[in-house]
Structure 1
Amino acid sequence: MDLPSFPRLRGLARPAWQPYALAIALVSLAGCGHKAPEADAAMPVIAQPAQAADGAVAGRFPGEVHARYEMPLSFRVGGQLLERYADPGERVKQGQALAQLDPADANKQLANAKAALEAAEHRLEFATQQHDRDDAQFKQNLISQLQWQQTQDNYASALAGRDQAKQQYELAQNQLRYTTLVADHEGVITSRQAEVGQVLAAGQQVFGFAWMGEREVYVDVPESRVGGIATGQAAALSLPALPGRAYAAHVREIAPAADAQSHTYLVKLTVDHADPLLQLGMTADVSLQAGKAAVAAVIIPATALFHQGEHPAVWVVNPGDFKLELRPVTVSRYGERDVLLAAGLKAGERIVMQGVHTVSAGEKVTPIAPPHAEDAPQ
């Protein structure tokens, strides 16, 4: 390498400027041997494979025990409530009388319908006799064609009148029978909405009624979690009133719309093998199993969840080049330490477990294990 010239040193003697030239030459040589800076190393991140959630608990909710069939009991006719034979909490049998309306008007209607039927039957009897007599005379040409047609018409009218009166009489009988409210099934009176002396309209509720037999548990599920529940999903029940006892159940029905006030969805679970100890109104702890509703679900630590605006997402490590991809996911359940995902991530895919706010898309990383064993996914 040529040494640079030093114009300002030319006047000096050789021994004087030679050390300066040597020092400058060494600096120049060092500059010529300097290499370009290396590319930045991959950033270490705590990343582990996502775990499958098969068999895990999809969610826990408080519930309340109800009957499979619950309905209001009411009279089919209107009137004044005369007597009440049952009270809330009372168990009744099928066909048992529960309440009575004043039957005075119904009795009068029945008597009127009976008198009308008797009159119609008398007219039919007379018309039948006339019909038989004129039939014989017409065959002997003793009466005219016109008279015979009039007799037939009278007979047909009398027959129709009798049938109509009979229907009215049967209707009046039903109206009288409807003044007594009876239980159409064995069950329990759950509430009372009418008092003696009150004038009721047809269909106005008198009692709340629950059938004996099948039992269900009602659960109010928030709208953010109803997507992880499906019909037929298995569940386990425990009740504070029955310590040590457990019941199996399954989801029978999911409300198609949320409640207008609470914005929750009513989910009904049928108890598979209910026993008499399971009383109406008991509170239950419902654990929905992540089976049929979450076959492909995975569970991740809560620290791995990242929010892209209002949408949840996770940082996925690409196995080929170890670069990060931000992937949207669907959350089925939020837990204290973990999150159940219903869609967007497969079991075994490696995701960033901690420090999700310190990385960026496309960044190359080096996955490392959590420093503490308790932080690793179970």
Structure 2
Amino acid sequence: MVAAMSLIWLAGCSKKAPEAEAAVPVIALPVQAVDGAVAGRYSGDVHARYEMPLSFRMAGRLTARYVDPGEQVKQGQPLAQLDPADPSLQLAYAKAALDAAEHRLLFATQQRDRDEAQFKQNLISQLQLQQTQDNYASALAGRDQARQQYKLAQSTTLVADHDGIITSRQAEVGQVLAAGQAVFGFAQSGEREVYVDVPESRVGGITIGQAAMMNLPASPGHSYTARVREIAPAADAQSRTYLVKLAIDHADASLQLGMTADVALQGSKPADAMVTIPATALFHQGEHPAVWVVTPGDSKLDLRPVTVERYGERDVLIAAGLKVGERIVMQGVHAVSAGEKVTPIAPPHAEDAPQ
């Protein structure tokens, strides 16, 4: 009996204490706050609301230019001159065409008057009267068109139709120009816009009328408000970006064409209401996005659903589900499980840390 009790006692003394659960090292860092009032920052440049080429409406040889790029011009100011000898034949042709059109109109008017009188006496049919009236209408339109062509052929001087600035020179003195060929680039005075190129991954988050703040590096401390006026329907074939035009409110003389602008599109959230995480930290719980959160008390993992505001190229903007300072798994999200005890470590490379 004594021997048996001794064996039992020795066996109980030989049992080891249970080992503590081993913690798995994971790359985990606190999430950072971002300004939720800013939906995106872009670089752009200042343009006029209306930019267009200026050209003659008739062909001829350019004999004089009265303005140079960068000059301010007034409405009605002469800008360039064609050689009057060149369009003289066009003027003669236009005059002959006008004379012929007026003659056809005179004949059509006389024929209409005769047929209307005969129709009242039942001497011609309704169909014949309608044909005569149609011929008269065609002759009248032809006369008006020939008159406008003759008026255009008389003008050999290019004038500014609005106040503005000459932005470029596209023809030289002595050059023979075709009708409609550009002579100058022109930007109207008044409204100003800023053009920005937006990546295709972010253009879906921009809407017409969205507010923005704009700063000019050339004028520190001076900001402008703007609103999205137009979004290009297709991406540029070379850069694969979308051109977004923003109308600038209360533009002043300091907004020079071509200036560089820093544009901050406004979002729907107040400042510091969102957090940003690396794209590698995002996990999916079924069809819903989620992240692995390290609980502060026991350093165990908890899979928490989140609401994504915007997907970027390297990061994700989270609108709800996370708080500033909470530690989440940044990499290797598919190699961990719920309730697993972990030891947070920093990324091995500094460039992998969230900016």
TM-score (norm 2): 0.69
In the alignment, residue 99 of structure 1 is paired with which amino acid?
A
In the alignment, residue 362 of structure 1 is paired with which amino acid?
A
Aligned position for 2:350: none
SS of residue in 2 equivalent to 1:292: coil
Cα contact 2:91–2:154 (8 A) shared by 1: no
Cα contact 2:209–2:229 (8 A) shared by 1: yes
Q: Which has the larger radius of gyration?
A: 1
Q: Are positions 1:324 and 2:302 aligned together?
A: yes
Q: Are positions 1:292 and 2:274 aligned together?
A: no
In the alignment, residue 281 of structure 2 is paired with which amino acid?
F
Aligned CA distance change for structure 1 residues 178 and 357 (closer, same or farther; 3 Å): farther
In the alignment, residue 27 of structure 1 is paired with which amino acid?
L
- Taking the aligned partners of 1:313 and 1:201, their CA distance within structure 2 comes to 64
- Taking the aligned partners of 2:110 and 2:264, their CA distance within structure 1 comes to 77
In the alignment, residue 265 of structure 1 is paired with which amino acid?
Y
In the alignment, residue 302 of structure 2 is paired with which amino acid?
L
SS of residue in 2 equivalent to 1:244: strand
Q: Are positions 1:306 and 2:281 aligned together?
A: yes
Of residues 69, 75, 84, the one that matches 1:88 is: 69
Q: Are positions 1:362 and 2:338 aligned together?
A: yes
Runs of 5+ in structure 2 lacking a partner? 347-353
- Taking the aligned partners of 2:40 and 2:92, their CA distance within structure 1 comes to 61
**Could you give the per-residue CA deviations for residues 269-292 of structure 1, whole angstroms, max 9, x where no partner exists?**
221111011110111222333x23
- Taking the aligned partners of 1:96 and 1:226, their CA distance within structure 2 comes to 42
Q: 1:104: Cα distance to partner? A: 1.2
In the alignment, residue 12 of structure 2 is paired with which amino acid?
L
Q: 1:50: Cα distance to partner? A: 7.2
Query: 1:109-124 to 2 correspondence within 5 Å?
Result: 109-116=93-100, 119=103
- Taking the aligned partners of 2:18 and 2:113, their CA distance within structure 1 comes to 127
Q: Are positions 1:221 and 2:198 aligned together?
A: yes
Cα contact 1:58–1:332 (8 A) shared by 2: no
Of residues 4, 10, 13, the one that matches 1:30 is: 13
Aligned CA distance change for structure 1 residues 350 and 104 (closer, same or farther; 3 Å): same
Q: 1:193: Cα distance to partner? A: 1.5
Q: 1:229: Cα distance to partner? A: 3.5
Aligned CA distance change for structure 1 residues 207 and 366 (closer, same or farther; 3 Å): same
- Taking the aligned partners of 1:49 and 1:131, their CA distance within structure 2 comes to 90
RMSD: 5.0
In the alignment, residue 191 of structure 1 is paired with which amino acid?
S
- Taking the aligned partners of 2:41 and 2:55, their CA distance within structure 1 comes to 37
Cα contact 1:233–1:292 (8 A) shared by 2: no
Cα contact 1:229–1:293 (8 A) shared by 2: no
Query: 1:1-378 to 2 correspondence within 5 Å?
Result: 3=3, 22=6, 24=7, 26-31=9-14, 34=15, 37=18, 40=21, 53-55=35-37, 57-101=38-82, 102-116=86-100, 119=103, 163=140, 166-176=143-153, 179-289=156-266, 291-292=267-268, 298-300=274-276, 305-306=280-281, 314-316=291-293, 323-325=301-303, 331-332=310-311, 341=317, 345-348=320-323, 352-353=327-328, 356-357=331-332, 360-365=336-341
Counting strand residues as a fraction of each chain, which structure ranks higher?
A: 2
- Taking the aligned partners of 1:84 and 1:204, their CA distance within structure 2 comes to 15
Q: How many residues align?
A: 332
Cα contact 1:66–1:217 (8 A) shared by 2: yes
Larger mean CA deviation between 121-130 and 164-173 belongs to 121-130
- Taking the aligned partners of 1:232 and 1:128, their CA distance within structure 2 comes to 56
In the alignment, residue 70 of structure 1 is paired with which amino acid?
E
Q: 1:188: Cα distance to partner? A: 1.3
Cα contact 1:237–1:248 (8 A) shared by 2: yes
Aligned CA distance change for structure 1 residues 124 and 65 (closer, same or farther; 3 Å): closer
Cα contact 1:315–1:326 (8 A) shared by 2: yes
Q: 1:191: Cα distance to partner? A: 1.1
Runs of 5+ in structure 1 lacking a partner? 5-20, 140-144, 147-151, 371-376
Cα contact 2:304–2:321 (8 A) shared by 1: no
In the alignment, residue 240 of structure 2 is paired with which amino acid?
H
